[in-house]
A and B are shown apart, each in its own frame.
Chain A
Amino acid sequence: MEKNKRITNCKVVIIGGSAGSLQALLQILPFIEKPISFAIVIVVHRKNSDEQTLESLIALKSKITVKEVEDKVKFESGFVYIAPSNYHLLFEKNETLSLDTSEKVNYSRPSIDVSFESAAEIYGEHLIGILLSGSNSDGTIGLRAIQAAGGISVVQNPLSAEMPFMPNNAILHTVPDFVLSTEEILEFIKGINQESEEA
């Protein structure tokens, strides 16, 4: 990595993805051991009719507890949160999550840009944004907002992405802190807030 940022103060890891991202998520999430000292938020595009299948699948595979996202649910570290279908997921100052059904952004609701921007505003340098596979330009503006607020941006290596358009778009229009394969993303997440492993 060209940048040697020590990641010791992370509160939130937010992961965005679209087509092909489920496969990547399943190569990452099941291998993260608990407890984790941060929260993981997942924002992926899916059909409106798919209301609970993603939650159930990830809950089944992940060792970390998946908390159902309802309006104004308390947002705390140690859990996985998944943006519900057909709502934008937003972050409030009082450590709760809120939802919004306003217009689609980048043809998407939930939109990755919307959640990334909102998380960046609240969590600033304590935030890591990861953008996975997809065939849509969503996420690029959000990653830029995360970096502007002092957070870290990670993009899945397009070569390891089933649908490289979304990561490519982010690489084309921003300078990500890290470009990583799914295996490297897993190692990266495992290393978060682990001071002893940094040197």
Chain B
Amino acid sequence: MIEDIELETLINDVYEYYGFDFGSYSRASLKRRVSRVFYLDGFKHFHDFLSKVRTDPEYCKRMIDEITVNVTEMFRDPSFYLTLRKEVLPLLGTKPFIRIWHAGCSTGEEVYSMAIMLKEAGLLHKSILYATDINASVLETAKSGIFPLRMIKDYADNYRDAGGQQDFSDYYIANYGFAKFNESLSEKMVFSQHNLVSDTSFNEFDLILCRNVLIYFDNNLQKRVVNLFDDSLAVLGFLALGTKETIKYSISQTKYKQFAKEKIWRKIKE
């Protein structure tokens, strides 16, 4: 494992040289992630690693891509998706137009999950799904809608547990070990790079999903991000987080009401 002081030096340098600010990331996880890249890329001395990061912008980009966690799956936590399908989508369906933001979408599996549910609810045609991440490489994967075939069996199980009743295999074409999801699903998706640490609100949404992203941030940054979501959410809109995340340390509880027993909150006043 790298030393604390080395990690702090790296954080300072990445901010100074490139403007990416990891200063408010949770240290325990960040330290593991940085150590992982350090050993993965065969470095022996921290100063060599640091000087590579400083002098090689391509390498710095690779390092940032590697330290941000990009583990995701389709219909992750099926009971959460079941609640979205049964209770949230019918409420959103009454609107003439539905705007959804997947913040920290990673390789996009949850965005495609949402599109499938919207399609089955007859709402996809009047929806738009913004999907953003700090990491440009994962957005390329997300755009392509191509995911490893070995995961599909688990995804099909999740889909069924989340209330899906169609034949899941109708949504993709399998080839060469990959599943390519139908373009009819991605037609309504807009992908762009967005950094929750430094970028601002860019639209008003009816549903914001940010699942297992806040866990990597300290309390101050969580507060900033939750307020960014608040600025971006219409009244009566929904905010959905990961199963172990909460907004209770970040924003006044009189403004938000927790929905069902999932990590979904409804904004009840401006």
Q: Which residues of A contact B (CB under 8 A)?
A: 51, 69-72, 84, 87, 90-93, 98-103, 114, 117-118, 121-122
Contacts and interface: CB of A to CB of B under 8 A. Distances in A.
B26 A87 contact: no
A69 B27 contact: no
22 contacts: A51-B243, A71-B214, A71-B242, A71-B245, A72-B26, A72-B218, A84-B244, A90-B29, A91-B28, A92-B27, A93-B27, A98-B28, A98-B29, A100-B28, A100-B29, A100-B216, A102-B32, A102-B69, A114-B32, A117-B1, A118-B28, A121-B1
Given A72-B219, A121-B1, A102 B28 contact: no
Nearest to A117: B1
Contacts of B5: none
B33 A102 contact: yes
Contact of B245 (A70, A93, A114): A70
Q: How extensive is the interface on chain B, given as a class?
A: 20 to 34
B104 to A, nearest CB: 11
Contact of B244 (A91, A99, A103): A99
A69 B29 contact: no
Nearest to B72: A101
Interface string B17-57: 00000000011110011000000000000000000000000
Contacts, number: 59
Given A72-B249, A98-B215, A117-B1, A87 B244 contact: yes
Task: Give the interface centre of A71, A84, A98, A99 by most chain B CB atoms within 10 Å.
Answer: A71
Contacts of A92: 26-28
Contacts of B29: 90, 98, 100, 102
A103 B71 contact: yes
Contacts of B215: 71, 87, 98-101
Contacts of A100: 28-29, 32, 69, 215-216
A interface: dominant SS:
loop
A105 B255 CA distance: 40
Contacts of A93: 27
Given A101-B71, A101-B215, A121-B1, A71 B246 contact: yes
Contacts of B26: 72, 90, 92, 98
B192 interface: no
A92 B218 CA distance: 10
B227 to A, nearest CB: 17
A102 B36 CA distance: 11
A132 B245 CA distance: 29
B220 to A, nearest CB: 11
A118 B30 CA distance: 12
A101 B69 contact: yes
Given A100-B215, A117-B1, A90 B71 contact: no
A71 B32 CA distance: 17
Nearest to A100: B29
Contacts of B182: none
Task: Give the interface centre of A87, A102, A103 by most chain B CB atoms within 10 Å.
Answer: A102
Interface string B182-215: 0000000000000000000000000000001011
A122 B69 CA distance: 22
A106 to B, nearest CB: 14
A101 B249 contact: no
Contacts of A90: 26, 28-29, 32
Nearest to A51: B243
Given A100-B69, A100-B215, A103-B71, A70 B244 contact: yes
A101 B212 contact: yes
Interface in B107-158: none
Nearest to A85: B243
A100 B214 CA distance: 10
Contacts of A102: 29, 32-33, 69, 71
B24 to A, nearest CB: 13
Contacts of A99: 215, 244
